[in-house]
Amino acid sequence: MVQIRPLQVSDAEALAAVHVANREFLAPFEPPRAESFYTPAGQLTRIQDATADPRLHRCVIEADGELVGMVSLSVIERGPAESAHLGYWVAQAVNGRGIASKATALMIDVAFGEFGLHRLQAGTLLDNLGSQKVLARNGFERIGVAPSYLRIDGRWQDHVLFQLINDDWRPA
């Protein structure tokens, strides 16, 4: 059973442990991280910062009651855009089991249902075919390639961009 729920202060220790256990696995897909990121105190600071920022909505992903990743909306923009960026990751031990796809579907329900957003955007590294499949399974369409889009794994890297428009959404 996969579920998502908003990040809580009490998640700091478990999040730090999952990040430590998956440090090498996630490094090729993430920006450079300070050592403090991998500590409960570092995660607590991130949680407090996220809960204070109305442009962020971060949720933990739980599979069978265990914290196995995160899914988030960032750069939530209101007004004429009504949009956000979608991001997600799952632990190596559960990668490839459909958990990211289900968590993404649940977050789309939050974005388009509860938040009433019109558009979601997501990006993946060019060779991250697994993540591209997660987005395709959830109805995202490829809209192009953004050169030097994000600094990932210590260097600026191109990303394939995807979008999902609320008009095309059907609840999970």
45-60 confidence digits (pLDDT tens): 999 999 889 999 999 9
Q: Which residue has the tokens 């957003």?
A: 117
- Helix then strand count (H, E) for the chain reads 5, 7
What is the domain range of residue 158?
2-168
CA gap 123, 31 in Å, rounded: 14
Residue 37 has pLDDT above 70, yes or no: yes
137 confidence band (pLDDT: 50, 70, 90): very high
Contact 125, 29 (CB under 8 A): yes
Nearest by Cα to 1 from 73, 94, 126, 108: 94
Residue 109 has pLDDT above 70, yes or no: yes
- pLDDT at position 170: 66
| Both structure tokens of 159 | 């990303």
Residues 103, 105, 109, 111, CA torsion sign: positive
Nearest by Cα to 17 from 39, 42, 50, 48: 39
- pLDDT at position 171: 63
Average confidence score pLDDT of the chain: 94
Residue 107 sits in a domain of what CATH number? 3.40.630.30
- Please count the structural domains in the chain: 1
Helix (H) or strand (E) holding 12: helix 12-21
- pLDDT at position 167: 85
- pLDDT at position 24: 95
**What's the whole-model pTM score?**
0.92
